[in-house]
Amino acid sequence: MKLKHYYFALLISFFTFSALAQQPVEITGTLVKKRIIPVKLFKVHEGKAVELASTAPTTNGKFGFIFYPEYEGLYVLGTGTVGSPNDNYKFYFKGGEKLAVNLLDSSYVLTGKLNSKENIVLTQWHDLVFPLEMKAVNFMKVQSTFVDYFPLQEEIVAKAKTFLNGKATGNTKFDANMRKYIAWDLASYATNFINTPRSAHPAVEEYSPFYATLKAEDFAKNTTDVYANPWGNRTLSGLMSLNLRQGGFKFEPGLAGLKNNLAFVPNDTLKGDLVLDNAARYKTYADYKTLMDAYGKYVITAGQKKRSLDILTPLLTLKTGENALAFSYPDKDGKTVTMASLKGKVVLVDVWATWCGPCKVEIPHLKKLEEEMKGKDVAIISLSTDAVTDKEKWLKMIKDENLGGIQLFAGGPGNEFSQYYKVNTIPRFLVFDKQGKIVTVDSPRPSNPELKALLEKELAK
């Protein structure tokens, strides 16, 4: 009997969790400000706030949102921007919550009786640190120097140590993470204060004791903790700036400065984010390449690689003589083919898809060109941009049409090769020399005799 009751309880718990995961969050509120401006809802993605929705309140300030949360954790509501905590406030959602709130000029208050225990605790915490927030974040509204800020900070840091006593919500995930939220908030306020304009700035020797406990490497050990915070990247950057100052480092631009910052980050994924933050400021391909030659090894995740390509693409001139993309794609048998493996051969790449009519028109001409180039140092690649779901269709066409050359699968029109070479229409033909450098990224088609002449010219070099 006890075992049956256990499984029944487990089943109830499973369905309860599933039901909550499918339930929307309902937010209702009133904007109590001198001027009616849009209210925004943000999610958290990789340590940054990302806008989900925006609404214009009514003339009497009423607003609302209904949404299905993508994850259980922190979201942001407010009238600020994605890059700053000013006039933005954190709330915790997992699905099924109702949040009733009044947004004020520089703060907020919960209203009604249906707010979750998690958001009540978050609000109690916000109320405790609100004086710090005003001085550290809303410094344009509240003038403050280290003389009044440091004593207040030490007082609130002391209170934070016992803040959670008796405040367990029953949500074990939230209760565990709340301790981290507290640490991140205190670090955010402390670093934001010393890194923003003031009428008087303290020397490092004048910093209050709390600053000696703030180490970027402690906060950067776990990617998840950084990514779960809407100001995670911003705070980590502030901590690195603090630690550089404490260590007596002078500001250095470029790679030297980046090297100093990377020393404070023990996590390779977060190092990759730092590298890309620097890359986003570059204006030339040469600078980008120098950066990636030094620190590109930290660009690890799929998201980082896509971001890297997004940064790189506008910098590319794709001129004759520039290095080709170091691509890597599977062939029809699953064997990986890279650009590097083709060095010593003139390379022709045909970007196509099985659904593309003009691509099919070129197939007989491409077969003829393959026959004419047989025995010569020419590699002819057909790079499919078919969707992943159409891979079997691609394999079938290779067999049915007896397609030759090197058949590679790039996986969708948004693939790295197409983005890099700005391939917006297909077919598209590109030629590379024996050293793996660009000859042309928009060559004549096989149906045009000029393509054969171009290949022979390259072979003769």
Measured CA angle at 241 (ends 190, 179), to 5 deg: 40
Q: Is 165 helix (H, G, I), strand (E, B) or coil?
A: coil
Q: How far is CA 100 from CA 50, 116, 125, in A?
A: 22, 10, 17
d(CA 160, CA 183): 9
Instruction: Select the more confidently predicted residue: 82 or 41.
Output: 41
Q: Is 50 helix (H, G, I), strand (E, B) or coil?
A: strand
Q: Where are the domains of the chain?
A: 21-115, 240-315, 328-459
Output phi, psi for 386, to 5 deg: -60, 150
The confidence band for 77, taking pLDDT boundaries of 50, 70 and 90, is very high
Instruction: Select the more confidently predicted residue: 9 or 427.
Output: 427
d(CA 211, CA 324): 48
d(CA 433, CA 102): 65
Predicted confidence at residue 68, as pLDDT, reads 95
| Under 8 Å between Cβ of 246 and 275 | no
The confidence band for 9, taking pLDDT boundaries of 50, 70 and 90, is very low
The confidence band for 10, taking pLDDT boundaries of 50, 70 and 90, is very low
β-strand pairing of 406-409 with 88-93: unpaired
Q: Mean pLDDT, to the nearest integer, of 61-65? A: 97
Q: Is 261 helix (H, G, I), strand (E, B) or coil?
A: helix
Domain 21-115 has CATH 2.60.40.180: yes
pTM: 0.76
Whether residue 363 has pLDDT greater than 70: yes
Which CATH architecture does the domain made up of 328-459 adopt? 3-Layer(aba) Sandwich (3.40)
| DSSP designation for 96 | S
The pair of structure tokens assigned to 224 is: 């998840």
Q: What percent of the chain has pLDDT over 90?
A: 82
Predicted confidence at residue 254, as pLDDT, reads 85
Count Cβ atoms below 10 Å from residue 147 Cβ, excluding itself.
10
| Under 8 Å between Cβ of 396 and 364 | no
**Exposure b/e, 168-177, CB count within 10 A at least 16 = b:** ebebeebbeb
The pair of structure tokens assigned to 438 is: 């660009």
Predicted confidence at residue 286, as pLDDT, reads 85
Whether residue 7 has pLDDT greater than 80: no
Whether residue 1 has pLDDT greater than 70: no
Model pLDDT for residues 392-451, shown as the tens digit of each residue = 999 999 999 999 999 999 988 889 899 899 998 999 999 999 999 999 999 999 999 999
Model pLDDT for residues 329-340, shown as the tens digit of each residue = 999 999 999 999
Closest among 29, 112, 23 to 77, alpha carbons compared:
29
d(CA 461, CA 457): 7
Predicted confidence at residue 414, as pLDDT, reads 83
| Under 8 Å between Cβ of 432 and 440 | no
d(CA 189, CA 137): 7
Count Cβ atoms below 10 Å from residue 113 Cβ, excluding itself.
7
Predicted confidence at residue 138, as pLDDT, reads 85
> H or E segment at 21?
helix 2-22
Measured CA angle at 219 (ends 146, 154), to 5 deg: 30
Count Cβ atoms below 10 Å from residue 16 Cβ, excluding itself.
11
d(CA 406, CA 385): 14
Model pLDDT for residues 153-210, shown as the tens digit of each residue = 999 999 999 999 999 999 999 999 999 999 999 999 999 999 988 888 999 999 999 9
- Chain mean pLDDT for the chain: 92
Model pLDDT for residues 96-119, shown as the tens digit of each residue = 999 999 999 889 999 988 999 999
The pair of structure tokens assigned to 82 is: 């994605």
Predicted confidence at residue 395, as pLDDT, reads 96
Predicted confidence at residue 333, as pLDDT, reads 93
Q: Is 319 helix (H, G, I), strand (E, B) or coil?
A: coil
Sequence-separated (6 or more) residues with CB below 8 Å from residue 38 = 54, 55, 56, 57, 79
